[in-house]
Amino acid sequence: MSDVNPVPGAASDDEVLLRVENLVKYFPVRSAGLLGKREYVHAVDEVSMTVRRGQTFGIVGETGCGKSTLGRTIARLYDVTSGKITFDGKDITRLSQRRMRPLRREIQMIFQDPMGSLNPRRRVGSIIGDPFAIHGLASGAERRRRVQELMERVGLNPEHYNRFPAEFSGGQRQRIGVARAIAFRPKLIICDEPVSALDVSIQAQVINLLADLQAEFGLTYLFIAHDLSVVRHVSNTVAVMYLGKLTEIAPADDLFTTPRHPYTGALLSAVPVPDPDLSDQREQIILVGDVPSPIMPPSGCRFHPRCPKAAPVCVSEVPQLEPRLGDGPDHVAACHLPMAAGENLINFRPTIDELDRVVEADGSVLPGGAVSEGSKS
């Protein structure tokens, strides 16, 4: 890549466990017709970030924004289109699957669907024993003993060693996934929406388990989720992703108190508030239109067709991730017109030609900007 984005939060090398620079992942899609042009889904586009040891780096974004693809590309389940991934000082961007294998002990994943990520036709003991079998580290009685230790550590009954995944509840299944992931005390665990398929009460148990394990083994988490309150609760640093790009990275509390990117602002206004009186007073920002197609993402800032603050510069120029409005180096936002503290997006109307914006299939042009949906009782 010619122009290198500044890697946010410049930290010394020992502190950094994972450094991602200008990571790009495109998926080819066949367009209509035999001679149709080869098109690409821009799933992850020029993403740069730094994850420090022992911390939790949260990634939030809507469904389909590319956050899971980002996690899986970092885990090298997908090949990298371009960019660079440095893990623990080693460049793992182009390692072959064979060369990657020893590193798999150090990078583990926990998946969203606790049913889908466990083989339904294999017994739990054998599933949790997989890491030992694959890397040839323990077998027979020794493997069984270590698997049962792991089961006990994550709060499962070791006597359930011979059961099938279907015989467990959702939370227990996720514990199975956690047990398998911590088998080798990995350095990095990529949690891909680890609790979004669970009941709220179970979510808390699994999150507490993850927090306990982090404290005990000094784990680093890359925590991908769409639930802002969960991410805020667990993360030290939070990155917001929209249509394949990171729009804002900040320490968790900063992001939630002073969001700079209007997209972050819109997301935060959608978080439900438990107090109904407070909820009624709040102005909720409803974004207009759908997320544009990742095959032909909008020019400039990808959020501009839906942004209430959109200006001509947002269409013509790609904003870089950098500190805005006097923020420290830890808080970066990719926005030409960042939000000031206390600013309300409802008061803004885009200043760009509406024809540049969302055009519906029937040719009608949607009125851009945000509509207020506050004071509804």
50 touches other proteins by CB under 8 A: no
Q: Which stretch binds other proteins (CB under 8 A): 17-25, 170-178, 218-226, 292-300?
A: 170-178
- Quote the least distance from Cβ 300 to other proteins, whole Å: 34
Q: Which is nearer to other proteins, 208 or 257 (CB)?
A: 208
Q: Which residues of 57-85 are buried (b: 16+ CB within 10 A; e: fewer)?
A: bbbbbeeebbbbbbbbbbbbebebbebbb
Dihedral angle computed from the Cα positions of residues 162, 166, 167 and 172, in that order, rounded to the nearest 10 degrees: 90
Instruction: Give the residue with the Cβ less far from other proteins, 75 or 291.
Output: 75
DSSP string covering 235-289: -SEEEEEETTEEEEEEEHHHHHHS--SHHHHHHHHTS--S-HHHHHHSPPEEPPS
Size of the site for other proteins (CB under 8 A): 43
Nearer to other proteins, 92 or 339 (CB): 92
The DSSP bridge partners found for residue 16 are: 52
- The dihedrals phi and psi of 147, each to the nearest 5 degrees, come to -65, -40
Figure out which of the listed residues 6, 28, 116, 367 binds other proteins, where binding follows CB under 8 A.
Answer: 116
Instruction: Count how many residues are written for the chain.
Output: 377
Binding flag, residue 121, other proteins (CB under 8 A)? yes
Sign (positive/negative) of CA torsion 64, 70, 75, 79? positive
Stretch that binds other proteins, among 71-79, 228-236, 259-267, 291-299 (CB under 8 A): 71-79
CB of 143 to other proteins, least distance (A): 14
What does DSSP assign to residue 306?
G
Residues of span 138-167 touching other proteins by CB under 8 A:
152, 155-158, 160, 163-164, 166-167
Beta-sheet strand order (sheet of 188-192): 107-110, 188-192, 220-225, 56-61, 237-242, 245-251, 332-333
**Which CB atom, from 109 or from 230, has the smaller least distance to other proteins?**
109
Of 95, 100, 137, 311, the one binding other proteins (CB under 8 A) is 100
Binding site for other proteins (CB under 8 A): 72, 75, 77, 97, 100-102, 104-105, 107-109, 111-113, 116-122, 130-131, 134-135, 152, 155-158, 160, 163-164, 166-169, 171-172, 177, 180, 205
